[in-house]
Structure 1
Amino acid sequence: MSTSFDNTTFRRVLGHYPTGVCVVTAVEEDGTPIGMVVGSFTSVSLDPPLVAFFPDRKSTSWPRIEKVGKFCVNVLAADQEALCRQFSARGADKFAGISHRTSANGSPILDGVVAWIDCNLDVVHEAGDHYIVLGRVIALEVEAPSAPLLFFQGSYGAFSVLEPSVTP
């Protein structure tokens, strides 16, 4: 089916919808930690508790996380843009200098994140140039209540709450 728009238009229009930024982490059998940034993450179901994210099919980190079969979604705080950029870099040691602890399920929980969601891999669906990954939530917590890191129109930023106006 043909469309009346190109990829640039698609990105420009969808860029007007802000997304949160997360780092999905896991640990390989040999003990090597893995992490990847995702900007498309959502809750799916309360019963059973499911979440979803959408890795690019060209990702080199996703197949490694998929093989592990479990992962932790780390919701980044507004002051963690540098951490986001480190986990976005290809080929780098993404965990160099990054403090974290291990979840009960064995995945890294990054220090200073707003919240974390520990999951077992439930199902993966192909969806165009991405995958739809469903994770069954086994544990979660708000770590450091603060403003989340957002991605909007090609830039990172933070959410600010405006005081409601008072009318006499």
Structure 2
Amino acid sequence: MLSQDLRTEHFRQSMRRVASTVSVITCTHDGRRHGITVTSVTALSFAPMSILACINRKSSISMPLKEEGRYCINVLRASQADISNSFSGGCPTERRFDIGEWTEKEGVPYLRSAQANLFCEMDQAISYATHDIIIGRVAGVAFAADVDPLIYQNGAYALTSPMVLQKAG
């Protein structure tokens, strides 16, 4: 039988093989902007339109997000790795919004040049182990005409391109 440490490492290595779209979740609380890079965002339902995100409870946005309840999921473009790095700890919290074209909609900061913006109202926060599963109802969206998301896989940023399928015969 595998030790717990080895099972954990096998799980980590397995998850490195899952490609994920990179997003930055943002909110404003007590007059201060907050944001964090995440890769755990998933559409949940079309009726009601809802989405979930998993956030470590120790992250800087955890408490402000739960207290504010309104936030934006900013889906990053392939060219926005610098923004992802800034919001994943590459910049001090108070300097994160210095990179990129940030504006506000009804007090919620959002990245104007993002691949997509999903404006949400928190419906539920479910605690599990070290994380909260944030379920948000989507109140509004904006998206770019082109599809060019920033992807994270195997500990690095990656690009996508459509596959060309060969016809049989």
> Could you state the TM-score of these two structures normalised by the residue count of structure 2?
0.89
Correspondences of 1:37-48 after superposition (within 5 Å)? 37-48=37-48
Question: 1:29 Cα shift?
Answer: 2.8
Q: How far, CA to CA, are the matches of 1:51 and 1:100 in structure 2?
A: 22
* Aligned: 1:50 with 2:50: yes
* Aligned: 1:19 with 2:20: yes
Q: Which residue pairs with 2:149 in the alignment?
A: 148
Q: Which residue pairs with 2:101 in the alignment?
A: 99
* Aligned: 1:74 with 2:74: yes
2:51–2:135 contact (8 Å) kept in structure 1: yes
2:25–2:71 contact (8 Å) kept in structure 1: yes
- Which residues of structure 2 form unaligned runs of 5+? none
SS in 1 for 2:98: coil
Looking at secondary structure, tell me which structure has more helix per residue: 2
- Which residues of structure 1 form unaligned runs of 5+? none
Q: Which residue pairs with 2:84 in the alignment?
A: 84
Aligned CA-pair RMSD: 1.9
1:115–1:144 contact (8 Å) kept in structure 2: no
Give CA-to-partner distance per residue, 1:81-135, whole Å, 9 cap, x none. Answer: 01100111163411114322212x4211203211110011111001111110000
Q: How far, CA to CA, are the matches of 1:36 and 1:158 in structure 2?
A: 21
Distance 1:109 1:145, change over 3 A: farther
Q: Which residue pairs with 2:124 in the alignment?
A: 123
Question: 1:167 Cα shift?
Answer: 5.6
Distance 1:3 1:48, change over 3 A: farther
Q: How far, CA to CA, are the matches of 1:147 and 1:96 in structure 2?
A: 23
1:54–1:132 contact (8 Å) kept in structure 2: yes
The residue type equivalent to 1:80 in the other structure is Q
The worse-fitting range, judged by mean Cα deviation, of 139-148 and 73-82 is 139-148
Q: How far, CA to CA, are the matches of 1:111 and 1:3 in structure 2?
A: 47
Q: How far, CA to CA, are the matches of 1:3 and 1:43 in structure 2?
A: 34
SS in 2 for 1:55: strand
Question: 1:165 Cα shift?
Answer: 2.8
Q: What percent of counterpart residues are identical?
A: 25
Q: How far, CA to CA, are the matches of 2:84 and 2:96 in structure 1?
A: 10
2:83–2:99 contact (8 Å) kept in structure 1: no
